[in-house]
Amino acid sequence: MSSSPSPLHLAVALDGAGWHPAAWREPVARPRELLTAAYWTDLVTEAERGLLDFVTIEDALGLQSSSFTEPDGRTDQVRGRLDAVLIAARVAPLTRHIGVVPTVVATHTEPFHISKAIATLDYVSTGRAGLRVQITARQNEAAHFGRRTFPPFRIEDYDTPAVQEVVADAFNEAADYVEVVRRLWDSWEDDAEIRDVATGRFIDRDKLHYIDFEGRHFSVKGPSITPRPPQGQPLVSALAHATIPYRLVAQAADIGYVTPHDAGRARAIVEEIRAEQTAAGRADETLHVFGDLVVFLDHDPAEAAARRERLDARAGYPYTSDAPIFTGTPAQLADLLQELQSSGLSGFRLRPAVAGHDLPAITQGLVPELQRRGAFRRAYEADTLRGLLGLSRPANRYAAATA
């Protein structure tokens, strides 16, 4: 196959022992270490050895469950996790180039708090931070906070008007949330800190700005208490499966993760997001659309298939996912990624089925294969996550207003 028209971007999504629910039972899985800093450091440094653009770190406000809408009673799967933002802050100083993008649930957290946390992560990583914004409408998660309630629903009811209304409201709230976070990142101008010992001036108060955000969900005055992050605006990303979340990506994100099961569907999704992007007045901005895939990678396709079957047998049911599931060799995966790229996707977020097996298969198998095809970098070409993704450092909206 000919090399790609432009190099691919590659990220990995890290979740516990891996995305297959029986991953923790594999010999490489290290289940006793899932809650240690060393485990997460090893995963992220391996991803960096593979020159990947960034890692995302999964998180939630409720225990993992095999049910989409409620807790389950299973005791044979990984339950319990560390906070994604804190994992990111721990591993970032031990890496030099790779972006670190923790998941943040907008529904029950405050944008002021998260803005400060991700700005801090951008300082800790010297410009490699981002966030993946997520919503939740689960009753059990709302019960952890006691501030609001959600009606019960089953996944089969997802397309009903009542559930769609709840979903739309949650995504509208997420859009406001991201807007508040972004305004707070801009609420200090870049040169607001003078730090002049001789004159005793540490700060120029005129360069701190109230954001005065008033919306249905939030009323936030600002300014932040954390100066503007090194990237100006750390990266905002979101996973999207349908029109309402596509709209959030188009209006508010730098990267959208989508789950098309073939090239035709990928093309249609990209077109829909581009149309929404234009409607949002962002047609001239770079917005990446990444395809998500769960991967079982081995040198022999039969080996990968057998491994998947063995894991399914251990779980007691065939593994399914919102994203397409790829089972095969690195070369076969490279073929698929290049085919999907021609549909308008600019990159991919790969979900290793077993982190200890499939992450090294990505970094040591897939990456060299893509490099041979001229489709992936051979060295990091930028010091910031925005730089790796070809995004310029944005001007401060408030500085522009006062200039």
Instruction: Summarize pLDDT for 165-214 with one digit per residue, the tens.
Output: 998 999 999 999 999 999 999 999 999 999 999 999 999 999 999 999 99
Residue 4 falls inside a structural domain: no
Gap between the Cα atoms of 313 and 177, Å rounded? 42
Which has the closest alpha carbon to 183: 151, 157, 208, 158? 208
Predicted confidence (pLDDT) at residue 57 exceeds the cutoff of 50: yes
- Residue span of the structural domain in which 361 resides: 9-189+224-402
Tell me what pLDDT residue 401 has: 65
Which has the closest alpha carbon to 383: 129, 3, 69? 129
Tell me what pLDDT residue 353 has: 98
Predicted confidence (pLDDT) at residue 90 exceeds the cutoff of 70: yes
In the chain, % of residues over pLDDT 90? 88
Predicted confidence (pLDDT) at residue 400 exceeds the cutoff of 80: no
In the chain, % of residues over pLDDT 70? 98
Residue 179 falls inside a structural domain: yes
Residue 218 falls inside a structural domain: no
Residue 152 falls inside a structural domain: yes
Annotated binding site: 59, 103
Annotated binding site for FMN: 59, 103
**pTM of this structure:** 0.96
Full 3-state SS string of the chain: CCCCCCCCEEEEEECCCCCCCCHHHCCCCCHHHCCCHHHHHHHHHHHHHCCCCEEEECCCCCCCCCCCCCCCCCCCCCCCCCCHHHHHHHHHHHCCCCEEEEEEECCCCCHHHHHHHHHHHHHHCCCCEEEEEECCCCHHHHCCCCCCCCCCCCHHHCCCHHHHHHHHHHHHHHHHHHHHHHHHHCCECCCCEEEECCCCEEECHHHECCCCEECCCCEECCCCCCCCCCCCCCEEEEECCCHHHHHHHHHHCCEEEECCCCHHHHHHHHHHHHHHHHHCCCCCCCCEEEEEEEEEECCCHHHHHHHHHHHHHHHCCCCCCCCCEEEECHHHHHHHHHHHHCCCCCEEEEEECCHHHHHHHHHHHHHHHHHHCCCCCCCCCCCCHHHHCCCCCCCCHHHHHHC
Residue 197 falls inside a structural domain: no
Tell me what pLDDT residue 202 has: 96
pLDDT band at 151 (very low <50, low <70, confident <90, very high): confident
Instruction: Summarize pLDDT for 366-389 with one digit per residue, the tens.
Output: 999 999 999 999 999 999 999 999
CA angle 388, 391, 395 (to 5 degrees): 135
Q: What is the chain's mean pLDDT, rounded? A: 95
Tell me what pLDDT residue 61 has: 93
Residue 142 falls inside a structural domain: yes
Tell me what pLDDT residue 354 has: 98
Gap between the Cα atoms of 315 and 303, Å rounded? 18
Predicted confidence (pLDDT) at residue 319 exceeds the cutoff of 80: yes
Residue 211 falls inside a structural domain: no
pLDDT band at 403 (very low <50, low <70, confident <90, very high): low
Predicted confidence (pLDDT) at residue 123 exceeds the cutoff of 90: yes
Predicted confidence (pLDDT) at residue 122 exceeds the cutoff of 90: yes
Tell me what pLDDT residue 4 has: 43
Residue 368 falls inside a structural domain: yes
Predicted confidence (pLDDT) at residue 1 exceeds the cutoff of 60: no
Tell me what pLDDT residue 2 has: 47
Number of domains the chain is built from: 1
What CATH number has the domain bearing residue 30? 3.20.20.30
pLDDT average, residue stretch 116-124: 98
Instruction: Summarize pLDDT for 15-55 with one digit per residue, the tens.
Output: 999 999 999 999 999 999 999 999 999 999 999 999 999 99
Predicted confidence (pLDDT) at residue 3 exceeds the cutoff of 50: no
pLDDT average, residue stretch 90-114: 97
pLDDT average, residue stretch 78-83: 96
Gap between the Cα atoms of 56 and 389, Å rounded? 15
Contact 85, 121 (CB under 8 A): yes
pLDDT band at 265 (very low <50, low <70, confident <90, very high): very high
Gap between the Cα atoms of 237 and 29, Å rounded? 28
Tell me what pLDDT residue 155 has: 81
